[in-house]
């Protein structure tokens, strides 16, 4: 019988025969005892990988839910025991939890801060001051094809706290993942094919050099299943680092919005489709139909790309923005508003499924290691004071401690006498020419600039006086109260985290104070904790009065900034140089 065989079929048969023949020869060679030669470069790469894993494994944290319902992973980032994980891992665990390291020990850990939108949380492991920790990498340098290592506790297999390691490559960068049933939003994340499964959540993603480049948190799964199909997503470490001090503040932190929506046109340009008139972007000049060119130093070529960039920044940061109108480019710096109302961010109610837990699938019940009983963690008395419950905070303890540190540094900078309830009389010049006098009294702030007068009655709504300052008199009154009575005067007073000063400068620590509609942001140098300036907004309809300090000096025997550089709407108003400073008690008859 004849069988017709097309050229395509003949080619496939020949290929199979060749593969079979090669396999047979290799098998015969191995069975005969003849060894195969392995390239030295392959052996070196293998050993390098083994050495890297041995170096990074000690920083990986196994986090367990004491109720026995699940767990997750984390990674230590400093020797003090601060560790990063996913918000959906710690949600519902309370203020304390148990964690294991590959040294075989179980450690108590306390919740520090949470970022529900970005699915990030910070905890602190306790009991040591020399914890092993990961080396922080730069996720902006990650490229498709880079080798990666994902470590963690999938399916809670690490009953001896030895993490599971999977190896793969970067499948994509700058991925955007829409919220899945909640407002969890993964922006600018890293896609990998390294196996990531339930329990890996919150664990580290390392590059081939053992540098931390991401936090594993989300996977694509089979329909109605919970098994990874080859696409995992890690929150970029650069996003985490932007939020790091915000998380250390003990707050429930929020992400940012520009206060504007954007859309793509048929020619590919990204334009503003709507904008809030109270947003800083609007007050800085951005309008509907303006074309976005770049945001935070990165080009904007699509709506998703814009969301990717926006999503890595905390509420309140200032970032550069470039836009085009009628062919003319304009560069501005805008302060980002909060993405959510405060009430939206307060945890409560049932625990929502994590990004790797589909809504229609219950969590896999995984038993705890035999060494841990399913009960609430017993917290030693020495640690109980490390958690303070307060509305709006994940753990108010950390905020109070940092706020007290900055206020203590403020007292050292300005001296104990600054706390006295005194009226202030200043005299000097503006821009080395115009004579100026200020009277900061108990009921009124008055200024004489050359031949002109400006007055702010403190029992009336704040006004943007003097002209073009955005409210200099109100700002100076807030400064006086910061030094004299912050605990008694301000409605709210808290540490918010750190941010680049003026959007492009070095990082500064930030305290926020509110009094009625007035909000001030106080900026402290992170090295020596000096107050270097502040911004005061009289309401949301006006851009703030921005004050930056010159060098500290002694004026009439009192430590004080020699110069106040004043700006409004990012434009210089002038530099106040103080020449005399007098403090007088109200009972002396001045400013009653």
Which bin fits 510, alpha (ψ -120 to 50), beta or left (φ > 0)? beta
Tell me: the pLDDT tens digits for 47-63?
999 999 999 999 999 99
pLDDT for 379 equals 79
- Clarify whether residues 236 and 277 are in a common domain: no
pLDDT for 532 equals 98
Integer Rg of the chain from CA: 30
Which one of 189, 217, 241 terminates a domain?
241
- Clarify whether residues 474 and 544 are in a common domain: yes
CATH number for the domain spanning 433: value is 2.50.20
Query: Which of 62-71, 76-85, 155-164 is least confident?
Result: 62-71
Look at residue 365 and tell me if it is in a domain.
Answer: no
- Clarify whether residues 199 and 300 are in a common domain: no
Closest CA to 171 of 194, 149, 150: 194
Q: How far apart are CA 496 and CA 508, in angstroms?
A: 11
Q: How confident is the model at residue 347 (pLDDT cuts 50, 70, 90)?
A: low
Q: Is 319 helix (H, G, I), strand (E, B) or coil?
A: strand
Look at residue 517 and tell me if it is in a domain.
Answer: yes
Look at residue 127 and tell me if it is in a domain.
Answer: no
- Clarify whether residues 277 and 206 are in a common domain: no
Look at residue 25 and tell me if it is in a domain.
Answer: no
pLDDT for 498 equals 98
User: Which residues face 537 on adjacent strands?
Assistant: 519
Tell me: the pLDDT tens digits for 386-429?
999 999 899 999 999 999 999 999 999 998 766 778 899 999 99
Tell me: the pLDDT tens digits for 488-525?
999 999 999 999 999 999 999 999 999 999 999 999 99
Does 562 have pLDDT greater than 90?
yes
pLDDT for 242 equals 97
Look at residue 458 and tell me if it is in a domain.
Answer: yes
- Clarify whether residues 235 and 264 are in a common domain: no
Tell me: the pLDDT tens digits for 207-245?
999 999 999 987 765 554 555 567 889 999 999 999 999
Tell me: the pLDDT tens digits for 160-186?
789 999 999 999 999 887 765 556 788
CATH number for the domain spanning 162: value is 2.40.10.10
pLDDT for 68 equals 57
Look up 571 and say whether it is catalytic: no
Which one of 305, 338, 371 terminates a domain?
338
Look up 119 and say whether it is catalytic: yes
Q: How far apart are CA 63 and CA 202, in angstroms?
A: 9
Look at residue 79 and tell me if it is in a domain.
Answer: no
Q: Which of 88, 133, 246, 542 is catalytic?
A: 88
Backbone phi, psi, residue 69, to 5°? -95, -5
Look at residue 310 and tell me if it is in a domain.
Answer: yes
- Clarify whether residues 233 and 292 are in a common domain: no
Instruction: Give the structural domain span for 167.
Output: 136-241
Look up 174 and say whether it is catalytic: no
Q: How far apart are CA 369 and CA 422, in angstroms?
A: 63
Q: How far apart are CA 251 and CA 121, in angstroms?
A: 10
Is the Cβ–Cβ distance between 444 and 457 less than 8 Å? yes
- Clarify whether residues 506 and 559 are in a common domain: yes
Share of the chain above pLDDT 70, in %: 83
- Clarify whether residues 414 and 514 are in a common domain: yes
- Clarify whether residues 556 and 434 are in a common domain: yes
- Clarify whether residues 427 and 565 are in a common domain: yes
Closest CA to 93 of 104, 105, 108: 108
Closest CA to 428 of 563, 264, 310: 563
Q: HEC profile for 180-234?
A: CCCCCCEEEEEEECCCCCCCCCCCEEEECCCEEEEEEEEEEECCCCCCEEEEEEE
For residue 17, CA distances in Å to 6, 25, 40, 305 come to 17, 12, 31, 50
Helix (H) or strand (E) holding 475, with range, is: helix 472-484
Look at residue 117 and tell me if it is in a domain.
Answer: no
Q: Which of 73, 171, 201, 236 is catalytic?
A: 201
Q: Which of 65, 119, 245, 535 is catalytic?
A: 119
pLDDT for 415 equals 87
Share of the chain above pLDDT 90, in %: 69
Is the Cβ–Cβ distance between 226 and 287 less than 8 Å? no
- Clarify whether residues 416 and 536 are in a common domain: yes
Is the Cβ–Cβ distance between 577 and 431 less than 8 Å? no
User: Which residues face 575 on adjacent strands?
Assistant: 565
Which one of 186, 214, 241 terminates a domain?
241
CATH number for the domain spanning 263: value is 2.30.42.10
Global pTM?
0.87
- Clarify whether residues 434 and 327 are in a common domain: no
Domain count, the chain: 3
């Amino acid at each position: 019988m004849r069988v017709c065989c097309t050229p395509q079929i003949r080619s496939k048969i020949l290929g199979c025969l060749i593969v079979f023949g090669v396999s047979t020869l290799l098998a015969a060679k191995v069975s005969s005892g003849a060894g195969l030669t392995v390239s030295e470069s392959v052996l070196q790469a293998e050993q390098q990988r083994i050495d890297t894993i041995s170096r990074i494994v000690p920083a990986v944290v196994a986090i367990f839910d004491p109720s026995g319902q699940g767990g997750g992973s984390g990674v230590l980032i400093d020797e003090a025991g601060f560790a990063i994980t996913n918000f959906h891992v710690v949600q519902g665990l309370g203020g304390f939890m148990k964690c294991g390291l590959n040294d075989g020990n179980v450690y108590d850990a306390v919740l520090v801060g949470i970022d529900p939108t970005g699915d990030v949380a910070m905890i602190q492991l306790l009991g040591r001051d020399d914890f092993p920790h990961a080396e922080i990498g730069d996720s902006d340098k990650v490229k498709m094809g880079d080798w990666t290592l994902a470590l963690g506790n999938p399916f809670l297999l690490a009953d001896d706290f030895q993490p599971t390691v999977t190896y793969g490559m970067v499948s994509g960068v700058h991925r955007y993942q829409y919220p899945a049933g909640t407002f969890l939003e993964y922006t600018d994340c890293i896609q990998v094919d390294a196996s990531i499964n339930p329990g890996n959540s919150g664990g580290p993603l390392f590059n081939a050099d053992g540098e931390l480049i991401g936090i594993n948190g989300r996977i694509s799964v089979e329909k109605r299943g919970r098994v990874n199909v080859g696409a995992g997503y890690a929150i970029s470490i650069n996003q985490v680092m932007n939020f790091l001090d915000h998380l250390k503040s003990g707050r429930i932190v929020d992400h940012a919005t520009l206060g504007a929506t954007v859309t793509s046109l048929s020619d590919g340009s990204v334009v503003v489709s709507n904008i809030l008139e109270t947003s800083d972007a609007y007050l800085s000049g951005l309008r509907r139909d303006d074309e976005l060119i770049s945001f935070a130093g990165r080009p904007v070529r699509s709506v998703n790309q814009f969301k990717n960039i926006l999503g890595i920044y905390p509420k309140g940061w200032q970032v550069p923005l470039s836009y085009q109108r009628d062919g003319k480019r304009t560069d501005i710096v805008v302060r980002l508003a909060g993405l959510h109302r405060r009430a939206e961010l307060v945890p409560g109610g049932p625990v929502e499924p994590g990004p790797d837990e589909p809504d229609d699938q219950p969590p896999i019940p995984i038993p705890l290691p035999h060494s841990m009983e399913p009960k609430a963690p017993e917290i030693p008395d020495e640690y109980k004071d490390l958690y303070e419950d307060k509305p709006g905070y994940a753990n108010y303890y950390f905020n109070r401690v940092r706020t007290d540190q900055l206020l203590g540094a403020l007292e050292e900078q300005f001296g104990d006498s600054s706390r006295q309830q005194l009226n202030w009389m200043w005299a000097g010049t503006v821009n080395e020419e115009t004579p100026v006098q200020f009277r900061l009294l108990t009921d009124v702030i008055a200024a004489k600039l050359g031949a002109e007068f400006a007055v702010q009655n403190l029992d009336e709504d704040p006004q943007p006086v003097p002209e073009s300052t955005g409210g200099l008199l109100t700002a100076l009154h807030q400064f006086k109260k910061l030094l004299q009575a912050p605990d008694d005067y301000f409605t709210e007073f808290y540490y918010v985290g750190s941010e680049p000063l003026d959007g492009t400068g070095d990082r500064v620590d930030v305290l926020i104070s509110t009094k009625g509609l007035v909000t001030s942001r106080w900026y402290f140098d992170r090295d020596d904790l000096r107050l270097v300036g502040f911004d005061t907004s009289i309401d949301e309809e006006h851009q703030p009065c921005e004050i930056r300090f010159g060098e500290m000096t002694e004026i009439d025997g009192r430590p004080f900034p020699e110069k106040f550089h004043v700006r409004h709407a990012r434009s210089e108003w002038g530099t106040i140089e103080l020449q005399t400073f007098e403090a007088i008690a109200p009972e002396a008859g001045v400013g009653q």
